[in-house]
């Protein structure tokens, strides 16, 4: 204890100087938008590299579990493919036309593969860091998906890393619908269980059953329609007395998320640039 007191007495000026520097930088980056943005982008790059190294170290030990999940997923896809062929034959539809429509839907989209290097599921506002950025064609407001369904939307980008707002974030609100119906709502996360979210604003005259499939509606420029989101597990009335709040079991397990794809849609980029140009023109007028 005596040595500690002597040390503090000897270097007290340096300690006060360091403390004041920390306070100054905290105030600078916290209450100034530009400096805060620069700090966030730079810190994101550094943290992204550190997380990449950690992810590479832990990836090897997860290979057995990943392989098991891939085998299970392949079996599920084979079964779904078989059932789809049977339904097409029953309906006597032209499969060539169906494939042509699918190709048209995705013709202007490019998938950028990425690896998750930073993730959280226990906070109110969770974020995901991926190892792809502007140099790879990733831009803010692009959609992010994985092999099992919906992930989130790109929020910030640097040269080689991006921050994603996932479904497990209070700021996230994605337009989703009940499959094979015209009823849609906003998918939001209320916190707590990372395997469940809530589909809001579905009208009470909608025919809803537990087990119904929830998918993207396609009403936004970010996600195409039909991306699997999850299934309805509970039906409850909203506080307004006019709509439902549907509890949805998410198809994506964010706690084990590792490989994702960013949807780069050329039509989306063109429409976004046109919208920004229109806003500038309106301001000028």
Residue 132, sorted as left (phi over 0), alpha (psi -120 to 50) or beta, turns out to be beta
Alpha-carbon gap, residue 81 to 226, rounded angstroms: 16
Residues 6+ apart with CB under 8 A from 237: 204, 243, 244, 245
**Residue whose C-alpha is closest to residue 109's, from 262, 265, 223, 222:** 265
- Both 133 and 219 in one domain: the answer is no
Are 165 and 172 in contact by the 8 Å Cβ rule? The answer is: yes
Answer for the pair 214, 233: CB distance below 8 angstroms, yes or no: no
3-state SS, residue 35: helix
For residue 45, count other CB atoms closer than 10 A to its CB.
13
Q: Which of 275, 260, 273, 285 is nearest to 118 (CA)?
A: 260
Residues 212, 106 within the same domain: no
> Are 266 and 126 members of one domain?
yes
pLDDT the model gives residue 184: 92
Q: What would the mean pLDDT of 248-277 be, rounded to a whole number?
A: 76
Average pLDDT, the chain: 78
Residue 214 lies in a domain: yes
Q: Is the pLDDT of residue 97 over 90?
A: no
Q: Is residue 31 part of a domain?
A: no
* Nearest partner of 223 among 232, 211, 214, judged by Cα: 214
How many Cα atoms are found within 13 Å in the side-chain-facing hemisphere of 40? 14
* Residue predicted with more confidence, 203 or 56: 203
Domain assignment present for 263: yes
Q: Is the pLDDT of residue 174 over 50?
A: yes
More confident residue, 259 or 279: 259
188, 200 in Cβ contact below 8 A? yes
Answer yes or no: do 215 and 182 share one domain.
yes
CATH number of the structural domain spanning residue 101: 2.40.10.340
Domain identity same for 66 and 90: yes
Whether 283 shows a pLDDT value over 50: the answer reads yes
What pLDDT is recorded for position 102?
46
Q: What is the pLDDT of residues 1-51, one digit of tens each?
A: 677 667 667 777 777 777 777 777 676 667 666 665 656 666 667 667 777
Residues 6+ apart with CB under 8 A from 25: none
Name the residue range of residue 186's domain.
174-251
**Higher per-residue pLDDT: 260 or 89:** 260
On whether both 210 and 154 belong to a single domain, the answer is no
Same domain flag for 153 and 196? no
Q: What is the pLDDT of residues 117-153, one digit of tens each?
A: 999 998 989 999 999 999 998 999 899 988 888 999 9
Output the pLDDT for position 98. 45
Q: How many domains does the chain have?
A: 2
Please check the confidence at residue 169 and state whether its pLDDT lies above 90. Answer: yes
Give the least confident one: 49-58, 112-121, 192-201, 235-244: 49-58
Residue by residue, DSSP assigns 37-105 as: HHHHHHHHHHHHHHHHHHHHHHHGGGHHHHHHHHHHHHHHHHHHHHHHHHHHHHHT--HHHHHHHHHHH
- Max CA-CA distance within the chain? 90
Structure-block tokens of residue 178: 């009940």
Contact 257, 116 (CB under 8 A): yes
Q: With a threshold of 0.75, does the pTM exceed it?
A: no
Joined tokens for residue 46: 């550094």
Q: What is the C-alpha separation between 214 and 199, in angstroms, rounded?
A: 9
pLDDT of residue 219: 83
Judgement on whether residues 236 and 262 belong to the same structural domain of the protein:
no
Cβ partners under 8 Å of residue 119, min gap 6: 126, 128, 129, 254, 255, 257
Residue 72 lies in a domain: yes
Instruction: Using a pLDDT cut of 90, give the percent of the chain over it.
Output: 33
Whether 78 has a pLDDT exceeding 50, the answer reads yes
Domain with 193 in it: what CATH number? 2.40.10.350
Residue 104 in this model has a pLDDT that exceeds 60: no
Residue 113 lies in a domain: yes
Pair (265, 163) in one structural domain: yes
């Amino acid at each position: 204890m005596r040595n500690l007191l002597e040390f503090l007495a000897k270097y007290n000026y340096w300690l006060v100087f360091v403390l004041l520097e920390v306070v100054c930088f905290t105030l600078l980056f916290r209450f100034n938008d530009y400096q805060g943005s620069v700090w966030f982008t730079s810190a994101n790059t550094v943290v992204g590299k550190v997380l990449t190294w950690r992810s590479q170290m832990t990836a090897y030990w997860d290979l057995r579990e990943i392989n098991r999940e891939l085998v299970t997923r392949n079996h599920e896809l084979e079964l779904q493919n078989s059932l789809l062929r049977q339904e097409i034959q029953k309906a006597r539809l032209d499969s060539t036309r169906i494939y042509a429509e699918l190709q048209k839907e995705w013709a202007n989209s490019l998938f950028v593969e990425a690896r998750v290097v930073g993730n959280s599921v226990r906070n109110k506002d969770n974020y995901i860091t991926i190892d792809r950025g502007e140099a790879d064609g990733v831009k803010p407001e692009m959609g992010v998906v994985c092999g099992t369904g919906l992930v989130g939307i790109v929020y910030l980008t640097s040269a080689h890393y991006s921050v994603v707002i996932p479904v497990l974030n209070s700021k996230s609100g994605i337009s989703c619908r009940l499959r094979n119906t015209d009823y849609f709502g906003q998918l939001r996360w209320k916190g707590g269980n990372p395997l469940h979210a809530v589909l809001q604003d579905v009208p009470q005259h909608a025919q809803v059953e537990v087990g119904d499939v929830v998918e993207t509606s396609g009403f936004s420029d970010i996600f195409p329609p039909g991306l699997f989101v999850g299934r309805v597990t509970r039906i409850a009335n909203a506080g307004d007395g006019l709509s439902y709040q549907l509890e949805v079991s998410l198809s994506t397990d964010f706690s084990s998320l590792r490989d994702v794809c960013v949807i780069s849609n050329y039509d989306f980029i063109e429409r976004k640039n046109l919208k920004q140009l229109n806003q500038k023109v309106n301001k000028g007028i």
